[in-house]
Amino acid sequence: MVMMPKERKPNGFTLIELVVAIAVLSILAGIAIMRYIDATTEAKRNTCLANRTNFSREIAYQEAEGTDPQTFFDQLYTNALSSNKRYRCPKNGTYTFNATTLAVSCSDPDHTGSSIGGDSTGTGGGGSGGGGTGSTVTASTLGATNWSDKLTSAADSSGGVSLTRGSVFTDSTGVFFVAWGSWLNKETGVAKPTLAEAAASGLGLVKVDTANIWTSANTTTTSNGQTVWTTLPQAGAVYSDGTNYYIHSQSSGNEYTDVNPPTNGNWVKVTNN
């Protein structure tokens, strides 16, 4: 009896199996690449916004010290372009400056978040990176009174007058509100400093961002049902609930856990002066 050799079973993959495996790997690689690109894009967007926010804060500080904001921006930005990357867009966008609002904007169309809490295009909204709604608020809307009148009252008093938290004042240097209660003594009233000078001296005054009004449109709901700001408001930001106005008193805060100004200590309700 002749023994026939056993038929060997083929080892390895069939052509169809190889094609399917390659297709699956290609899909996974494509997803990974897209996520990497999205993460890189978001990182550059956040870096640009952080650069411009810090830029605006430094300009605001220098303005309070008496430095012309446009001149300071021009000098610092020229230095940034020539010698360092501290105030440069990671996508090489060009920065421009609004001397009225102190906002620093980027020419890159993807970098629309405002350096002062509002949308740099003035349209804002509830999208990611947005800020104020684009509506403006005036000194009269906030019930601001002339700073010179307050100085005169202090100068004519025996010892000075109080600056009530939530009061709003205006002069040639802008609109400012009292972030925390303080005292305007007689000597200061006689000296008659501008609001910017008084703010720099530590009287609890913060410059108001009148370019944008924050509303509930600037919030979004997370996957776990939490209501959060689409971007963090900064000191001087104005919020309206449709009836009252509130102004943000801090440069930063834990705003993600409480976006309701009436119950959030970082927001100060505007009061009658």
Per-residue confidence (pLDDT) for residue 122, from 0 to 100:
31
Q: What is the pLDDT of residue 230?
A: 77
Strand pairing category for 238-240 and 213-214: parallel
Instruction: State the pLDDT at residue 9.
Output: 57
Q: pTM of whole model > 0.75?
A: no
Report the run of H or E that residue 78 belongs to, with start and end.
helix 69-83
pLDDT for position 134:
53
Instruction: Look up residue 22 and give its amino acid.
Output: I
Q: How far apart are CA 15 and CA 93, in angstroms?
A: 49
Q: Token pair of 142, please? A: 């906030």
List Cβ neighbours of 256 (8 Å cut-off, separation of 6 or more): 226, 228, 229, 232
Spell 2-28 as b/e; 16+ CB within 10 A means b: eeeeeeeeeeeeeeeeeeeeeeeeeee
DSSP string, 100-121: TT--EEESSTT--B-TTSSBTT
Whole-angstrom distance, CA of residue 2 vs CA of residue 118: 91
- Token pair 């009436």 is found at 262
User: Are 192 and 223 in contact, with CB atoms under 8 Å apart?
Assistant: no
Angle in degrees, CA 265, 102, 78, rounded to 5 = 135
Query: Can you list the positions of beta strands (E) in 6-144?
Result: 95-97, 104-106
Q: Is residue 89 a contact partner of residue 106, using CB atoms and an 8 Å limit?
A: yes
10-residue mean pLDDT profile of the chain (273 residues): values are 57 79 87 83 83 81 78 81 73 82 81 59 31 69 92 92 92 90 90 90 87 82 76 84 85 56 79 69
For residue 4, what pLDDT is reported?
Answer: 58
What's residue 128's pLDDT? Answer: 29
Q: Which of 93, 101, 56, 91 is nearest to 76 (CA)?
A: 56
- CA-to-CA distance for 120 and 101, rounded, in angstroms? 10
What pLDDT does 147 receive? 95
**Token pair for 26:** 């290609």
Q: What is the pLDDT of residues 29-46, one digit of tens each?
A: 888 888 887 788 888 888
Beta-strand relationship, 174-178 and 205-207: antiparallel
The residues that bridge with 221 in the sheet, in sequence order, are 227
pLDDT for position 2: 54
Whole-angstrom Cα distance, residue 234 to residue 59? 14
- pLDDT at 167 (0 to 100): 93
Give the pLDDT confidence score for residue 37 in this predicted structure.
79
| Domains of the chain (ranges, CATH numbers) | 38-106 (3.30.1300), 145-207 (no CATH)
* Whole-number pLDDT of residue 3: 58
Other CB atoms closer than 10 Å to residue 116's CB: what's the count?
26
Provide the pLDDT for residue 119.
Answer: 38
Q: How many CA atoms does the CB half-sphere of 176 hold within 13 Å?
A: 29
